[in-house]
Amino acid sequence: MSPTARRHASAAGPSSRRARLKARAQRVAETGASTAPILTRGLTKRYGEILAVDSLDLEIQAGEIFGLLGQNGAGKTTTILMLLGLTEPTSGRARVVGLDPARRPLEVKRHVGYLPDSVGFYGSMTGRENLRYTARLNGLPRADADERIAEVLEHVNMTARADTKTETYSRGMLQRLGIADALVKSPDILILDEPTAAIDPIGVVEILDLLRQLSDEQGITILLSSHLLSQVQSTCDRVGIFAAGRLIGVGTVEELSRRFGESSTRIEVTLDGAASESELQHAHATLKDLAGVTRVLPPERPRDPWTLLAPPERASEVRVATLAAAAREGLGLTAIREVEPSLDDIYRRAVQDRGLVGAGRAA
């Protein structure tokens, strides 16, 4: 993102937008409805025998970036389509900007910008022409539309290529144009399905930065789905973990790690000295006996680090003890570090603990 683009973006009237959002919040408060722009309750979609989405309760607050995370086929896209009124729920309700998308899809779609999974454009038209079509479908007058299109193209850094045919675009460019396309209608909510899939790492950072910026400067509520958990971890204010059609956890990454973590700190220890079977056993015994260590997970492959679990308050004590023991027993310690829980770990554990989680929900 170029500095000019940033300036341009921030000049795009966020204050009036904030005022509008605020006005809506107030109005909603007066009428007693929830202020959450996206709200679902018991939302369920069944395709024949398959339960794609299973009684989903979701509440996304105005202005936040919410990540819907889960593997392919977990029900993320189905959820999004129901929120847009493009698929009817089998049962349950949804409210998007206070409206039922199944009953009033047109009004919902005016307020929601949507970037579909592997978005496409009309190849024989230029990027700008494609966006013009979207603007016309949204009823924007030509002059306003051209201005708005120039603005969003600048936003996603596509101005230079805007007048070439989209059939020449790379996947990353299509993705950025897709975001511009979703922004043309000046949405209150942006729903992005796998915005970072099939994009090179630098492109991913650019897109995530852009989303942050949109959220910060214009107060747009953003719902994004991804199966690349760690990638979007830093961008999302809150995440919801989705598995087999069920939302098995919602919260900030920290909250989730507390909930699904084993309430212990993980310390990785790389040992060079332990190679033979007996050495491994010796190392295992030594580490296990350290004060404060609750569990020792041996490496799956010989060169990988060992993992020690310890209560957070005793983590530093364990580190010191590990250093001392390694020196004493000749374990050939080369590295020791505390591991931040990643969403991938959380996800894995959350899915593994599903039985337990289900019981928690029922309680």
Partner 1 sequence: MTANAEPIFTAPASEDGPPAERELPRLPSGWRVVAGKELADHLASVRLYVLFLVLGAAALIPMYFAAERIRAAADAASGTPSLFLYLFWLSPQGFTLLSVYQFVAMAAPLVGLGFAFDAINGERHDGTLPRLLSQPIHRDDVINGKFVAGLAAISLVLMAVIGVISAFGFIRLGIIPAPNEIIRLIVWFLFTIVYVALWLAFGLLLSVVIRRAATSALVGFGVWLFVAIPIFGPLVISIIGGFIAPGTSSDQAALDAAGTQQFLLRLLPSTLYQEGSIVILSPQVSTVTTPATIGQYDQLQQQIPGLASLDQSLLLVWPHIVTLIALTAICFAAAYIRFMRQEVRA
* Minimum distance, C-beta of residue 18 to partner 1, in the bound complex (Å): 13
Place of tokens 């979207």: 134
Q: Among the candidate windows 87-95, 297-305, 308-316, 330-338, which touches partner 1 by CB under 8 A? A: 87-95
> Does residue 361 bind partner 1 (CB under 8 A)?
yes
| Cβ-based neighbours of 75, under 8 Å, separated by 6 or more | 45, 52, 53, 54, 56, 242, 244, 245, 246
Of 5 and 119, nearer to partner 1 (C-beta) is: 119
Tokens standing for 157? 């850094």
Quick one: which of 67, 98, 195, 245 contacts partner 1 (CB under 8 A)? 98
Tokens standing for 226? 């991804």
Quick one: which of 5, 56, 81, 179 contacts partner 1 (CB under 8 A)? 81
> Does residue 221 bind partner 1 (CB under 8 A)?
no
Quick one: which of 38, 62, 79, 121 contacts partner 1 (CB under 8 A)? 121
CA distance 61 to 256: 18
* Minimum distance, C-beta of residue 27 to partner 1, in the bound complex (Å): 6
> Does residue 95 bind partner 1 (CB under 8 A)?
yes
* Minimum distance, C-beta of residue 275 to partner 1, in the bound complex (Å): 43
> Does residue 137 bind partner 1 (CB under 8 A)?
yes
Q: 237, 300, 292: which is closest to 66 by C-alpha?
A: 237
Tokens standing for 334? 């080369």
Number of residues that bind partner 1 (CB under 8 A): 68
> Does residue 320 bind partner 1 (CB under 8 A)?
no
Q: 114, 86, 115: which is closest to 174 by C-alpha?
A: 115
> Does residue 56 bind partner 1 (CB under 8 A)?
no
Residue 85, helix vs strand vs coil: coil
Of 103 and 295, nearer to partner 1 (C-beta) is: 103
* Helices then strands, each counted (H, E), the chain: 14, 13
> Does residue 23 bind partner 1 (CB under 8 A)?
yes
CA distance 135 to 144: 9
Place of tokens 């001392």: 324
Angle, nearest 10°, between helix axes 142-155 and 171-183?
Answer: 130
Residue 267, helix vs strand vs coil: strand
Quick one: which of 8, 18, 46, 110 contacts partner 1 (CB under 8 A)? 110
Of 154 and 188, nearer to partner 1 (C-beta) is: 188
* Positions 260 through 319 that interact with partner 1 (CB under 8 A): none
Q: What is the largest CA-CA distance in the chain?
A: 78
> Does residue 218 bind partner 1 (CB under 8 A)?
no
CA distance 25 to 37: 9
CA distance 197 to 156: 17
* Minimum distance, C-beta of residue 310 to partner 1, in the bound complex (Å): 22
Tokens standing for 66? 């919410």
Of 27 and 337, nearer to partner 1 (C-beta) is: 27
Q: What are phi and psi of 107, to 5 degrees?
A: -65, -40
> Does residue 189 bind partner 1 (CB under 8 A)?
no
| Residues binding partner 1 (CB under 8 A) | 20, 23-24, 27-28, 31-34, 36, 39-41, 57, 59, 77, 81, 84, 86-87, 93, 95, 97-100, 103, 106-107, 109-112, 114, 116-124, 133-134, 136-141, 144, 178, 181, 185, 188, 247-251, 255, 258-259, 357, 360-361, 363
